[in-house]
Chain A
Amino acid sequence: AQSVTQLDSQVPVFEEAPVELRCNYSSSVSVYLFWYVQYPNQGLQLLLKYLSGSTLVESINGFEAEFNKSQTSFHLRKPSVHISDTAEYFCAVRSRNDYKLSFGAGTTVTVRA
């Protein structure tokens, strides 16, 4: 079985400042890793995913995450946030040959002007 820990439940940040959302996982087998974003009153949208290959993955809206196998982490970063990045962010992990997607508790990012 795998589990996910998101180390921060709330992250307030000023517009144009950098942000990092921390995610650690535990699993006894190889995994796929995901970040989903949930904007206010909306469903979850896939932000980015790591399946294999380069350990640094990027999204189309400036987020990036790095898979660190030795530290079992998949932290999400953005160098300069916008008001529109205000949302809840979920880290998720799945074993490579299993359907079960395990989610972290979520991190709420609030961007202020």
Chain B
Amino acid sequence: NAGVTQTPKFQVLKTGQSMTLQCAQDMNHNSMYWYRQDPGMGLRLIYYSASEGTTDKGEVPNGYNVSRLNKREFSLRLESAAPSQTSVYFCASSLTSVETQYFGPGTRLLVL
């Protein structure tokens, strides 16, 4: 089992460009999450999907959209990237919303 996988591993964008970060899990988990990690701030939840077909905003959703494509995949889209979105993005999944979360390896995003 690969667990949680994320693509790409690293991306450089110019301000105003758009991109989609991909996440997939092979653990048959129902719940999936997107976090961003910034120095000195730990991880902050961007969006959450309790199950296929549902999504909810987290702590810092502005500037992002998500799609729960199916049970395995949960993508994060930046429609118009800003330098403030320079960060490391982590996807996570859990069997249910009250079970332990398991994390992917992360995507490093630099917005110039």
B98, A105: Cβ atoms under 8 Å? no
Stretch in A14-22, A40-48, A56-64, A68-76 touching the partner: A40-48
Of B44, B100, B104, most buried by chain A (CB within 10 Å of CB) is B100
Q: Count the A residues whose beta carbon is within 8 Å of the partner chain — how many?
A: 22
List, in ascending order, chain A residues with CB within 8 A of B44's CB.
103
Distance between B91 CB and nearest chain A CB, rounded to angstroms: 9
Of A45, A49, A90, A100, most buried by chain B (CB within 10 Å of CB) is A100
List, in ascending order, chain A residues with CB within 8 A of B67's CB.
none
B103, A103: Cβ atoms under 8 Å? no
B43, A99: Cβ atoms under 8 Å? no
* Interface size classification for chain B: 20 to 34
A99, B48: Cβ atoms under 8 Å? yes
Bound CA–CA A95/B53 (angstroms): 24
**B15-50 near A? 1/0 per residue, CB < 8 Å:** 000000000000000010100000011111100101
Bound CA–CA A101/B42 (angstroms): 11
Bound CA–CA A99/B31 (angstroms): 9
B41, A100: Cβ atoms under 8 Å? no
In the complex, whether B105 has a CB less than 8 A from a CB of chain A is: yes
List, in ascending order, chain B residues with CB within 8 A of A94's CB.
98
Closest to B105 in A: A43
In the complex, besides A34-B100, A104-B42, 8 extra interface pairs with C-beta distance below 8 angstroms are A43-B106, A44-B43, A98-B98, A99-B31, A100-B45, A105-B41, A105-B42, A106-B40
